[in-house]
Amino acid sequence: KPEKSPYDVVVLGAGVLGLATADALSATGLRVAILARDLPEDVDSAAFASPWAGANWSSFGNNESERRRDTFTFEEFGRLAKSHPEIVTRRQFKYIWNKDKGYSSPWYKDVVFNFRPLERSEVPGPYSEGVSFESYTLNPHRYNALLASRLRDRGVPIVRKRVSSLDEAFAHFGPVDYVVNATGLGAKSLLGVEDPAVFPDRGQTALVRAPKVDICFGVRDANMAEGKAVYVIPRPGSGGCVIVGGTNIKGEYSTLPRREMAESILQNAFEICPELANGGASWKDIEVVSHNVGLRPAREGGLRLEIEERMIQPDALVPEGGKSKSRPVTVLHCYGIGPAGYQANLGIAEEAKEITLKYFNKQRS
Ligand code: FAD
């Protein structure tokens, strides 16, 4: 076992937060390696959230930090939409509701483009009011592949490994002193973390083929049943596919799509966007590619983005005469983003970078 690792930082987790954070850290010259059970190529794995997102930028920012991260990401998406339109696309959004039950003035109305109330004639389905603006939708598989290829080009290894305890991440590539814990829902059971505040927020969706749909729709009605959501998100670079959803069911782990939910998702989406049926007269004419479930890694209190100092126990495998004392190490926790991992990812990675550089500058001084 080497006495020293060739890496300064190990990022545990290769969902969008692990990849984006590794990208931001490695761009500063830090030597980074990624260790993860699920890799960006595992687009069929229900064991992590990132392959299953819509995904769009439609901020839930409830406080200043969340709004700052989302705004930062929005601006970066603007650059990506120009360089990689097959991954990030700027398009019209219509958010609709019934009178007095909606949200006509979200905090981000000055961040997005061309925010305005909808004319009654522009409001689809059984709704009466709404707003129009322009924001971004993205293809999560291609987005993560882009981050991964940038990392690999920079020499960052992305290694498949399921660790049982956080300590293993400090030892896998030889002893490192700094680990980023981006394990999402894994933080609930990972030994040494076992955060009881983490919970799954189950999202069922359908991927459908509807090449003519190019508007992103969302129902924002306060009367909507708990756990129900209605949205339509055209997916860039997918040959005309659209994600329709969905559900937000807290605390539920099942990754099997349910038939009755699948039917009501298609019916609700057809009501606001009949173009989904490609000219057909009923929601039954929608061409379904797949029914999907993703578990959003949510947390009471929201994202945990903070440093923790820990002690690592002596490593029995260090040869006699080698250093085998307990040693202090640092973990930057970065998990629990729930439904906002894409729209916040670059803002979170930027903040993770600032925290990490402060740590390394202190170590060096
Ligand atoms: P994850 O993607 O879950 O990644 C966790 C990583 O940690 C994985 O690599 C996993 O293998 C690894 N890991 C865990 N435990 C271990 C272990 N013991 N050892 C090694 N590795 C481990 N967000 C948006 O911003 N906009 C949207 O429109 C949107 N729509 C969504 C729609 C649905 C239906 C769903 C399900 C999610 C949606 N999201 C959206 C949310 C977004 O997908 C998540 O916030 C994001 O993917 C979380 O990323 P993450 O990196 O934190 O976690």
In this structure, the residue with its CA closest to atom 48 of ligand 1 is: 341
284 CA distance to ligand 1 middle (Å): 31
User: What pLDDT is stored for residue 1 in this prediction?
Assistant: 47
304 CA distance to ligand 1 middle (Å): 14
Cα–Cα distance list, 7 to 33, 157, 166, 169 (Å) = 7, 10, 17, 12
Number of domains comprising the chain: 2
User: What pLDDT is stored for residue 323 in this prediction?
Assistant: 60
3-state secondary structure the chain: CCCCCCCCEEEECCCHHHHHHHHHHHCCCCCEEEEECCCCCCCCCCCCCHHHCCCECCCCCCCHHHHHHHHHHHHHHHHHHHHCCCCEEEEEEEEEECCCCCCCCCHHHHCCEEEEECCHHHCCCCCCEEEEEEEEEECHHHHHHHHHHHHHHCCCCEEECCCCEHHHHHHECECCCEEEECCHHHHHCCECCCCCCEEEEEEEEEEEECCCCCCEEEECCCCCCCCEEEEEEECCCCCCEEEEEEECEECCCCCCCCHHHHHHHHHHHHHHCHHHHCCCCCHHHCEEEEEEEEEEEEECCCCEEEEEEEEECCCCCCCCCCCCCCEEEEEEEEECCHHHHHHHHHHHHHHHHHHHHHHHHHHHC
The β-bridge partners of 295 are 202
Ligand 1 atom index nearest CA of 185: 3
Q: Are residues 82 and 108 in the same domain?
A: no
Ligand 1 atom index nearest CA of 13: 7
243 CA distance to ligand 1 middle (Å): 17
Q: Are residues 207 and 348 in the same domain?
A: no
Please list the rounded mean pLDDT of every run of 10 residues in the chain (365 residues): 82 98 98 98 98 97 96 98 98 92 84 96 94 98 98 98 96 94 98 98 98 96 87 98 96 96 97 97 98 98 97 67 77 98 98 98 90
Q: Are residues 62 and 202 in the same domain?
A: no
Domain end point (choices 297, 312, 327): 297
Ligand 1 atom index nearest CA of 204: 34
117 CA distance to ligand 1 middle (Å): 33
Q: Are residues 191 and 210 in the same domain?
A: no
Ligand 1 atom index nearest CA of 14: 9
Angle at 304 between CA 298 and CA 310, to 5 degrees: 130
Q: Are residues 187 and 132 in the same domain?
A: no
Ligand 1 atom index nearest CA of 337: 45
* Residues sharing a CB contact under 8 Å with residue 357, sequence separation 6 or more, in sequence order: 28
Q: Are residues 123 and 147 in the same domain?
A: no
Rounded Cα distance between 78 and 76, Å, is: 5
Choose the residue to mutate in 11, 17, 34, 195 for probing ligand 1, maximizing ligand atoms within 8 Å of C-beta: 17
Burial class (CB in 10 A: 0-12, 13-18, 19+), 331: buried
CATH code of residue 30? 3.40.50.720
ipTM of the complex in this document: 0.99
Domain end point (choices 297, 326, 341): 297
253 CA distance to ligand 1 middle (Å): 14
In this structure, the residue with its CA closest to atom 12 of ligand 1 is: 13
Contact residues of ligand 1, CB 6 A cut-off: 12-18, 36-38, 47-50, 52-56, 162-163, 182-186, 190, 203, 205, 245-246, 294, 296-297, 335, 337-343
In this structure, the residue with its CA closest to atom 38 of ligand 1 is: 53
1 CA distance to ligand 1 middle (Å): 32
Q: Are residues 255 and 272 in the same domain?
A: yes
Domain end point (choices 247, 269, 297): 297
Q: Are residues 76 and 223 in the same domain?
A: no
Q: Are residues 43 and 93 in the same domain?
A: no
Q: Are residues 211 and 265 in the same domain?
A: yes
Q: Are residues 12 and 76 in the same domain?
A: yes
Ligand 1 atom index nearest CA of 201: 36
Q: Are residues 80 and 105 in the same domain?
A: no
User: What pLDDT is stored for residue 103 in this prediction?
Assistant: 72
Ligand 1 atom index nearest CA of 342: 25
Q: Rounded to 10 degrees, what is the CA torsion of 194, 198, 137, 246?
A: 130
CATH code of residue 292? 3.30.9.10
341 CA distance to ligand 1 middle (Å): 7
Question: Residue 278's domain spans which residues?
Answer: 89-136+198-297
With contact defined as beta carbons under 8 Å apart, do 314 and 326 qualify?
yes
pTM over 0.80: yes
